[in-house]
Amino acid sequence: MKDQIKKSQDPENDSMKITVTKNGPYIATGGVPIVVAEICNDNEGYCRTWKIVDRYPVREECALCRCGHSENRPFCDGTHAKTRFNGTETAGNEPYLSHPEIIRGPELELTDYHELCVHARFCMRAGGIWNLTEQSGIPEARDTAIEEACNCPSGRLVIRDRRSEELVEPVLEKSIVVIEYPAKGEHGPLWVRGEIPVVSADGKPYTVRNRVTLCRCGKSHNKPFCDGSHVQH
């Protein structure tokens, strides 16, 4: 778990960027690796690990579908123009991020940004991360809470070590991970990892975070970010 207590840093790759285009795809520049990963369940059916199943050849620039209708996903094939995709960005930069729920346990503090959940469901095992945080005086509960927070792709769940006051963030390869969840037949969002900047179609930068998830089904009400709308209830 020790390596998870460091912050992600990769100064050599800071030319990478993702730009949202108006009613069109995301343009990833700077040679961002594009990887496909599946959510794997444990024997009890809880989401437990990530398995990388594919890597695309690295290109200086590529266009990634955000309307959900490309025949060449995860890449854009121009279908958004024919379907008149409305990709209006509705995520303000900050307001909801400034009102997270804070849960304090003896060892850990959990910051929970509800609106960012993409329903990847890593946080539900062993009684759930909220209970585990409250029981974080127990080493096993503490370790499981950290593992669950670090597996959360969207960055909804962020853990702080109350002794050191440091955030406990996973070290993530700068990359875009195309999330697939075969057990549920779900095609999840694009998981942007390692503090790659995301810029809106009108040139405004969103807050840079170690983990963010971008909508790729076209249905999110918090575009460009995923709000879990791809999950059929």
Report the distance separating Cα 216 and Cα 231, nearest Å: 12
Provide the mask over 142-181, with x wherever binding to ligand SF4 is found by CB under 6 A and - wherever it is not. Answer: ----------xxx-xx------------------------
My answer on whether omega of the bond before 100 falls inside 30° of 0, hence cis, is no
Provide the mask over 14-33, with x wherever binding to ligand FES is found by CB under 6 A and - wherever it is not. Answer: ----------xx--------
Q: Tokens 């795809």 belong to which residue?
A: 25
Report the distance separating Cα 98 and Cα 127, nearest Å: 27
Partner whose footprint covers residue 156, from ligand FES, ligand SF4, none (CB < 5 to 8 Å by kind): ligand SF4
Partner whose footprint covers residue 224, from ligand FES, ligand SF4, none (CB < 5 to 8 Å by kind): none
Nearer to ligand FES, 34 or 65 (CB): 65
Nearer to ligand SF4, 24 or 153 (CB): 153
DSSP 3-state of 195: coil
Which of 16, 63, 117, 192 lies at the binding interface for ligand SF4 (CB under 6 A)? 117
From the list 120-128, 172-180, 193-201, 215-223, the region that binds ligand SF4 by CB under 6 A is 120-128
Cβ atoms within 10 Å of 91's Cβ, excluding its own: 21
From the list 67-75, 114-122, 162-170, 174-182, the region that binds ligand SF4 by CB under 6 A is 114-122
The first and second tokens of residue 29, run together, are 């520049």
Q: Tokens 């700068």 belong to which residue?
A: 174
From the list 41-49, 74-82, 102-110, 132-140, the region that binds ligand FES by CB under 6 A is 74-82
107 Cβ partners below 8 Å, 6+ apart? 136, 137, 142, 161, 162, 163
Report the largest interatomic distance among the alpha carbons of the chain, rounded to a whole angstrom.
Answer: 56
Which of 62, 103, 107, 121 lies at the binding interface for ligand SF4 (CB under 6 A)? 121
50, 51, 55, 60 alpha-carbon torsion, rounded to 10°: 10
Nearer to ligand SF4, 63 or 123 (CB): 123
Distance of CA 130 to the CA centre of its chain: 19
Report the distance separating Cα 108 and Cα 95, nearest Å: 25
Query: What residues line the site for ligand FES (CB under 6 A)?
Result: 24-25, 65-67, 69-70, 76-80
